Structure 1
Amino acid sequence: MKAKDVFEHYQDEAAFEKVPWKNFSDRLKRLRNKVVDKNNRSKRDADALVHDRKIYPTQTHNEQGQLRWHGSEAEKLLEKDVDEEKHISMTKIELYNSRLEYQHFNLRVFRGHVYQELKKRKFLAYCKTTKRGKEYGAQQLIINKRRAEAEGSEQS
């Protein structure tokens, strides 16, 4: 859309009363350039992250040599088990012994992740019911989507 068309469309708005055409055209052009630059910057950042992940992939073990929970098969299975409410019908040790993937981790660590998963779900429920929570939840969805895209391209 040309600047003149935009100006004519919005010139009756209260916010545009004091905006002369000669200023509007230049300002709109600068604004469009900023948007393009911002979009290019986010693409460059995403490409740089993919590049860096190829050089330095995510560690599978922490500094103590223990398996990392984040991104592990056990994490995905625990989410599924909590969805199925197995954490209610079973004790933590029964849940721990129910899958071999859980046993790659210390029982104490596993138990902590069960509680962490429950806390996360309570917080997400809060996010769905409050305005502040909805704004925060929307930001987290964007972050998680970008993280998943980066991890997906990392595995390719």
Structure 2
Amino acid sequence: MSSTAKKEKWRNGEAKRILRMHILAGSINEGTDLDDLHGRHPEYLKWPIAQFKRNTKALLKSCKDKPNKALEKWGKSEAKALLKNDILDGTVTQESDAREVHNSRIEYKQYPFDNFKTNMGNLIELVHKEYDRMRTDCEAYGHDMAIVADLHSNNPPIPTPWHKSAAKKLLEKDIEEDKHLLPNGDKLMPIVLYKSRVEYREFKLKKFRGHLYQYLDKREKAKNAHRYNKKKTRGKAPATIVHNAPTRTNNES
């Protein structure tokens, strides 16, 4: 047995599922050449020929004796999923011939025609109901969005003032990190910095430029004050303490 077959149990394996589907659809029966069948599908080839033939014979007998038990439940079946897709893409409609649809896929053929025809009609009706409900929901959503848009147009949101905005904090940070300067030290044009962040663009360029210059002036004044105080401190002679300073006495007067 191959390593894949060792890992996969026949009972719940893909090979058995495919075989059962073809048996129930009538494309595989007791007269089928099992040696030839073994080479028809990669899933079959995962199993040694002797074991495959033995399992196939057992499955043929099981499907013959208890066809309803062998049949996959329609509610969660691959056939139902495929049929729903066929309905959604327009391949299957209410005008479609149920017999032709039944014969169009091996997944459909494993189900008795009468059962399939009933399930097909029910599924078409269900898909139409789901579509109508979706259309109603979309129309309701569009109506609600129109109301919201009208409210916004009649009651425009109050813009965030600069002193409470994220742009203010970001600008202070960018200036501290010298992002307003070019690599050579020259000042960057305000519009370039303005376009660098979406938070800046919430304000008009004129307002942004004014705050930029305001922060730069404030920063420059702070630097000048620091340099002045430092220079002033250096210019003063350090105070010294005179030890043993002479004192005047009464005799010297």
TM over 0.5: no
Q: Give the alignment's TM-score, normalised by structure 2.
A: 0.25
Which protein shows a greater Rg? 2
Going by fraction, where is helix more abundant, 1 or 2? Answer: 1
Q: Say which structure, 1 or 2, has more relative contact order (CA 8 Å, 6+ apart).
A: 1
TM-score in terms of structure 1 length? 0.39
